[in-house]
Amino acid sequence: MLFKQQALLRQKLFVLGSLAIGSVLYLVARVGTLDRLQPICPVDSRLPTPEPEQIPLRTLQFKRGLLHEIRKGNATKEQIRLHNLVQQLPQAIIIGVRKGGTRALLEMLNLHPAVVKASQEIHFFDNDQNYARGIDWYRGKMPFSFPHQITIEKSPAYFITEEVPERIFKMNSSIKLLIIVREPTTRAVSDYTQVLEGKERKNKTYHKFEKLVIDTNTCEVNTKYKAVRTSIYTKHLERWLKYFPVEQFHIVDGDRLITDPLPELQLVERFLNLPSRISQYNLYFNATRGFYCLRFNIVFNKCLAGSKGRTHPEVDPSVVTKLQKFFHPFNQKFYQITGRTFNWP
Ligand code: A3P
């Protein structure tokens, strides 16, 4: 009798325990979902709200599960077939600008459940050897996705490489093109800092920024220096406009992506005709890094690698002023063409 009562008590305790654990797990899952789906205010009331594309709920739910496994190489061919997974050519490309914040933009867009990213820079259109491998090689570099998801890749060299606009046009003349820019002088210093770090790693000496950026014969800005040329955004954009109408480009403010990323991401969601899904929950400021980091869900978050967000060397203020004056007319033209104005000096 006593044994029977004890067994009954144990059974009751087990049922109660299971219920409690189940409720906690349900709440944890629910909090994550609710936070991710909370509505956000429109960032610019002048912009019409696009019709959200119909993304099947299944797609949204699976994104972090199965696709994550596939990326890790854990999904079987059977699962790929069963779930209709495909390797799609990108429907949008981040074409530049180098040091504009291209990695941050790609990673932040990847927070969206309907976006999948090609993790590596593929350099298909700017590298002749890769380009000669053909479009199927390029497709093979793309991640698996559900048919309703969009694939995005980023290769910042595309923006400044002569052959690229025509090559991309031949692949898809209606592709969406994202360009992330920063104040041109800051971008040039960032570009220099990256090269400098590479040299230092190889124990090589390198010139000071001031020496590279100013032509010592003329005392004018050295337009042969690549870091200067890359920052003349309008010159590069004009080449692209021979192939694509301006409506196919979206300009992202790379300086604002650093200080306040959400509004910039919401503009990109609109441009890509995606329902607004990235929320403040997905972005948190990490004081140690000094940058926003990414929160995918209650358990998974990450910051960008340490190579993003280097300390820049101090630059002679008179050289900074000279550069800013040099870029000014090009910037004006860039604003005029793109319809996006920045408070650059
Ligand atoms: P700095 O290293 O000069 O600070 P790219 O990915 O195109 O190479 O751009 C690198 C730049 O992205 C960095 O330049 C950094 O300022 C910027 N950036 C923007 N958002 C960032 C973030 N959340 N974390 C780290 N870097 C970020």
Q: What is the pLDDT of residues 1-30, one digit of tens each?
A: 444 555 555 665 554 455 455 444 433 333
The residue with greater pLDDT, 63 or 156, is 156
Question: For residue 15, is the peptide bond before it cis, meaning its omega torsion is within 30 degrees of 0?
Answer: no
Distance (Å, rounded) from C-alpha 98 to C-alpha 275?
28
The pLDDT of residue 135: 98
The pLDDT of residue 24: 43
CA distances from 202 to 123, 157, 196 (A): 24, 23, 10
Q: Is the pLDDT of residue 165 over 80?
A: yes
Tens digit of each residue's pLDDT (9 = 90 or more) over 293-341: 999 999 999 999 989 999 999 999 999 999 999 999 999 999 999 999 9
- In ligand 1, the atom with minimum distance to the C-alpha of 187 is 3
Q: Is the pLDDT of residue 112 over 50?
A: yes
The pLDDT of residue 72: 57
- In ligand 1, the atom with minimum distance to the C-alpha of 312 is 3
In this prediction, residues 127-133 reach a mean pLDDT of 98
The pLDDT of residue 82: 80
- Burial of residue 15, with CB atoms counted within 10 A of its CB: 0-12 exposed, 13-18 middle, 19 or more buried: exposed
Confidence of residue 37 (pLDDT cuts 50, 70, 90): very low
The pLDDT of residue 81: 82
Ligand 1 centroid–CA 244 distance in Å is: 27
Tens digit of each residue's pLDDT (9 = 90 or more) over 259-287: 999 999 999 999 999 999 999 999 999 99
Output the pTM of the full model.
0.83
Residue by residue, DSSP assigns 59-95 as: HHHHHTTHHHHHHTT---HHHHHHTT-EEPPPSEEEE
Which residues lie with the beta carbon below 6 Å from any ligand 1 atom? 98-104, 156, 190, 193, 257-258, 291-292, 304, 308-310
Tens digit of each residue's pLDDT (9 = 90 or more) over 166-222: 999 999 999 999 999 999 999 999 999 999 999 999 999 899 999 999 999 999 999
Distance (Å, rounded) from C-alpha 113 to C-alpha 116?
8
Which protein residue's CA is at the shortest distance from atom 14 of ligand 1? 309
Apex 338 CA angle, 261 and 234, nearest 5: 100
**Residue labelled with tokens 């192939």:** 243
Q: Which of 95, 233, 258 to mutate to test the pocket of ligand 1 (most atoms within 8 A of CB)?
A: 258
Ligand 1 centroid–CA 104 distance in Å is: 6
Which protein residue's CA is at the shortest distance from atom 12 of ligand 1? 101
Q: Is the pLDDT of residue 31 over 80?
A: no
Sign of the C-alpha dihedral, residues 197, 200, 206, 211? positive
Tens digit of each residue's pLDDT (9 = 90 or more) over 61-101: 455 566 666 655 566 777 778 888 999 999 999 999 999 99
CA distances from 32 to 5, 108, 282, 296 (A): 41, 17, 10, 9
Q: What is the largest CA-CA distance in the chain?
A: 104
The pLDDT of residue 25: 40
Which protein residue's CA is at the shortest distance from atom 16 of ligand 1? 309
The pLDDT of residue 74: 62
Ligand 1 centroid–CA 133 distance in Å is: 31
- E strand or H helix at 144: strand 144-145
Distance (Å, rounded) from C-alpha 228 to C-alpha 211?
13
The pLDDT of residue 44: 34
